[in-house]
Structure 1
């Protein structure tokens, strides 16, 4: 006879001490979100887009205050750029919400269906992971991106931003709470985390958080990985390469190099190192002039240096670390590659596995580069700046993962989902399929057409 009693508090419901205001992400609220009619989650996204536009003035003012405080505190230029939440970012966030609201509901999607025997059917369904914790530096637009993907996929989320974006973050979290309330959904499924101490408490394995998503520097990601046993989804840094092949079109090389470096120099998909095939060196000056015209500092090795001309303060010889550094600003290394295989070797050795691109008119070179480079996104004759969830049509992104397990590359809504196996029978028992069993039944294992639940 079993004498064990049912526990009064389940492990998944355990939480750190109650926070200011008593608002907590509970498993019950997350289940209310995931079990609500899909139309409500869509409505919440559309309502959040409306509220962004309605509150544009106060939001931009709050961000301006955050920005001026950050300037006075000496925040780095790359973080200052990410801190900006201007009218363009606000408009892009609203567009992303509307795009995501128009996508098919992912919760309960049947991705595999198989008959095990007559009347015994197995399904693999997509379900939310549960409760997320996102910790990020600057970039208040993360509040809308992660919030949108979480609500759409039925996940609850804690959002811990840096103190430099506190005013903007608080206002954006309030947008989510009002949108959820208007959609008759629990507002507690999107919660801001005001202090570092509370973030540390949530990193405890007893907090009920199922996945941690860091968005920031390599140091931030490494610190979080070292301080929790909860799975962490993220990338360490964005050391992205651009390889200019011997068969590269100089005009394409110029345009792609400038866009990859200058479109958003602090972004993790911005190019940090350009590799040049020896036979392309006569055309390097064209690329160099275009970069210099945009104010880009160039760190060139001894083979590339003689092919560049411009202001002395913008061109210098590369040091030992150049070519393996994420500058996060208008600075790029330029180094020689003896051939395609040498370029692939250098990318795989010194890159971060984020995003790398090749410019070439030789189709075979492009395919060999794609096959040989071990990165989450690989481009052929295209800017590295395309490596983005919105540009990939994911609606928004959690971030870009350079890991190999669960999700890789721009992580959109599907990266916040996991599997549930559902078996429907009519009194079937496993013993009848055992070798030498009394019934001697065999499995049919027949693939069936997928249907929506």
Structure 2
């Protein structure tokens, strides 16, 4: 146990932090909390733990003392010529950010030998070049590098390395200190005590210690694993490299988290380049026998075996450990934020199972999709019909679960529009059942449908057929009725499906998923669809590009925008906003206009297809329609905002709109005046979201021009915008509404969840035969039926 070397009150970003160095970790944490450290009281238990590692990645954000180990492969460039300055600058920036957040940071760095060798090699080559001029020889660059003593290279590189760190950290107003260590520093009781008192004092002074082995005076250090460290009565760890050094330091200073940065993504069950290699996002000591270790690092002294030994040793002493790829952008901050990056070491078996469960569910969804694809259309339809019937026959169970969600949501203060979306009723379930049967009845001609058939040559026929996309991830908020709708669409399109619902609908979603599983069990595909109910963050799901083929977010514009922003490798289908317009043309029928506007705004104002902006031809300002519209909306409780053009023409009128590109999602809307239809079209293109836009007019020519010109997913004439819905379109239901300019646009039903593949059948055809003129192309279009 460390001795109490110092205690100091310091300010970080305006906060007072009481840093107690060397105290038992629980005491130190308690002191910090009492001094105002911003740690959630609900997590006090985890913060006060004594010599216990974090059991879940979500707890890593509470790590206050952090050791970051940089391996040689991270520090140096891939070609071996010097340091990777850009990568190093990013790591320094992250450490500095952690430091300014109030975390106590220590770095263990490699690179001195590599840095020194590069510098000395250049000087030696210059010397060899001069000698070559005077006396020709066969010396090469490799010869120059091989004759360099690594201790001399370390002596040169250490000062250069620290100068570079000092320059980088100074940009963030962070002070650093170099600490060089050798074997006697750990073996000798007095020097060991001095070393850790020095580290403690540096941390208390708000300085980031940068630790490295003093390779200039000492060969690679080693303390046998069974060696008892003097003065402690504890067995040490074999210090062969910076992996074991960082583990020893992290344990001795009672660090909360050790991040070991290497050139691999984490721990694999076998060398990553071998078949069957699987990334282990969570590692327990019980899994060591399942891992086959490959060769050591090409750059540094420590291999993966060394890293695992060091990590498990530190973990056994109360330090949480993550081994990650230091070349990944923002790896440190991503880990602290709880994302599934690298391999997290824990002895909690339940956490390990939970962390890998989503991977397993996704793999099951993939295999389940292939089972669905092999089924006949009637078998897939029967599973959907079964689910539709269960929604009615087991409605009491569903409504009972839904009542629990509503009760909890009401107590938590959930907004009324969200409560409305959360609520289920017998009529809603009945409508759901009808919609699902529509999906079932329309699913016979989806998967395996021939879209194109071409006779390329004699006895050589090409077909383009529809196939499922693969595995879908649908993330939805509040609306539990989305679950059976999306599940039925996945069944009909033979896609595997992962569903991530909001916690506010947890009971309802669980009950509905039970019915989905029951309906799939009858066709042997119960693993094809699963509900993700672990603690996995959405951000982790978005990084599973090997398992998930398409993401479909259903919920608020903030949710959709965040998903679109975070998903870098998996395509996202959906819409972020539903800024829908209704344009009242100069030839609009007043009665129709009133009826359509009322329905578009008031039928379900929280829906994405509700009207948000009403555009009125300027001619209507001088007749009764404008006043009638305003009076009707006020009577319905709609708050009106005026666009800039309308506001300029009214002395007393509605308050100005905060923006013309705004989705109210409530009983509010904006009214703007336009001079003609082209002005309305320009307004829609400038401020709309390409969702649904409507014209009300009795002029067929104007209507055709509007329908042809407006570039939105749905464009309507003399009907409410509320018709933009999968059920109302006869699709049975929708997996979402897409405003993207891809194959699936508007309400997306089964067809939008399909892609195609090409099937070519011949006898003994080869491409060379056509090049040589032995066979001739026909490219004859054949009927698809």
Fold shared by both chains (TM-score > 0.5): yes
Residue among 470, 473, 477 paired with 1:133: 473
Change (3 A) 1:17 1:443: farther
Q: Which residue in the other structure is 2:635 paired with?
A: 293
Q: CA deviation at 1:222?
A: 2.0
1:37 & 1:262 partners in 2: Cα distance?
Answer: 44
For the pair 1:82 / 2:421, whether they are aligned, the reply is yes
Q: CA deviation at 1:438?
A: 4.8
Q: CA deviation at 1:28?
A: 2.2
Corresponding residue SS for 1:327: coil
Figure out how many residues of one structure are paired with residues of the other and give that number: 435
Corresponding residue SS for 2:690: coil
Change (3 A) 1:407 1:200: same
1:419 & 1:16 partners in 2: Cα distance?
Answer: 35
After superposition, where does 1:29-428 map in structure 2 within 5 Å? Answer: 29-103=368-442, 104-181=444-521, 183-197=522-536, 199-228=538-567, 229-281=569-621, 282=623, 283-301=625-643, 304=646, 316-321=654-659, 323-428=660-765
Q: CA deviation at 1:185?
A: 2.3
1:303 & 1:202 partners in 2: Cα distance?
Answer: 45
Say whether the 8 Å CA contact 1:301–1:336 is kept in structure 2: yes
Q: CA deviation at 1:442?
A: 2.7
2:507 & 2:737 partners in 1: Cα distance?
Answer: 26
Change (3 A) 1:56 1:366: same
1:6 & 1:395 partners in 2: Cα distance?
Answer: 46
For the pair 1:449 / 2:717, whether they are aligned, the reply is no
Q: Which residue in the other structure is 2:162 paired with?
A: none
Tell me whether 219-228 or 19-28 shows the greater mean CA deviation: 19-28
2:649 & 2:697 partners in 1: Cα distance?
Answer: 20
Q: CA deviation at 1:221?
A: 1.6
For residues 294-339 of structure 1, give each alpha carbon's deviation from its aligned partner in whole angstroms, at most 9, with x where no partner exists. Answer: 211111347657999xxx9xx7322341x32111111111111111
Say whether the 8 Å CA contact 2:475–2:499 is kept in structure 1: yes
Q: CA deviation at 1:145?
A: 1.2
Tell me whether 22-31 or 257-266 shows the greater mean CA deviation: 22-31
2:404 & 2:667 partners in 1: Cα distance?
Answer: 26
1:413 & 1:334 partners in 2: Cα distance?
Answer: 37
Q: Which residue in the other structure is 1:19 paired with?
A: 357
Structure with bigger gyration radius: 2
1:128 & 1:16 partners in 2: Cα distance?
Answer: 28
Tell me whether 247-256 or 22-31 shows the greater mean CA deviation: 22-31
1:81 & 1:213 partners in 2: Cα distance?
Answer: 22
Q: CA deviation at 1:263?
A: 1.2
Q: What root-mean-square deviation, in Å, do the aligned CA atoms of Structure 1 and Structure 2 show?
A: 2.5
1:291 & 1:376 partners in 2: Cα distance?
Answer: 27
2:278 & 2:755 partners in 1: Cα distance?
Answer: 21
Q: Structure 1: 5+ residue runs without aligned partners?
A: none
Say whether the 8 Å CA contact 1:284–1:307 is kept in structure 2: no
Q: What TM-score results when the alignment is normalised by the length of structure 1?
A: 0.90
Corresponding residue SS for 2:570: coil
1:21 & 1:50 partners in 2: Cα distance?
Answer: 31
Identify the structure with bigger relative contact order (alpha carbons < 8 Å, sequence gap 6+): 1
2:441 & 2:644 partners in 1: Cα distance?
Answer: 53
Change (3 A) 1:353 1:91: same
Q: CA deviation at 1:136?
A: 0.9
Change (3 A) 1:206 1:274: closer
Q: Structure 2: 5+ residue runs without aligned partners?
A: 1-272, 280-352
